[in-house]
Amino acid sequence: MKKQAIPNVPETDSAGVKIMPPSIFFCCLISGITLNIFFTWQIMPENWLALLITGIIIIAAGISFMMWGHARFKSLGVNVPTDMPASQLVTDGAHQYSRNPMYVGFIAILLGLGIAVDSVWMLVSALPMTLYLSFYVIPKEEAYLLRTFGAEFKTYCKYVRKWL
């Protein structure tokens, strides 16, 4: 089945994000693990069980929220990669709580892992991910969505927060 083209939007138009967020996520993850191995910096080693349980809960919540958003994109036939055009604006499911549920998931996984393994470095690894998303990816995506969906996207932004 051929997808319907959006009027006045070229097929090649996209947010123009060249370095995909999953690549940066894995770089942050590997950096946090590497730093933790060579320069252990713990949060509270005496409370390891509480940290482990809390971290696992945060990781599970992050993965669930991320996959909820991803699954909704897939069920509607909307492209997930940020260098491909969007066929429609997704505003339901996880996207009714956050304009970026997949990015919230990435950050939650890094933070939850940092807590679960009692590593300040893993927590710190969430910072470059957050900065990359906040200052590179999201502005490009939002400019693209505004250009593509206009007033519909503006209205959506009024009611749904960027993060949570």
- pTM for the model stands at 0.89
What tokens appear for 109 in the block?
């996984």
- Residue 12: the pLDDT is 62
How would you write the pLDDT of the chain (164 residues) with one tens digit per residue? Answer: 334 444 444 456 889 898 999 999 999 999 999 999 999 989 888 889 999 999 999 999 999 999 999 999 999 999 999 889 999 999 999 999 999 999 999 999 999 999 999 999 999 999 999 999 999 999 999 999 999 999 999 999 999 999 99
Smallest CA-to-CA distance from 73 within 47, 49, 101, 52 is with: 101
- Token look-up 């945060």 returns 58
Tell me the one-letter amino acid at 74. Answer: K
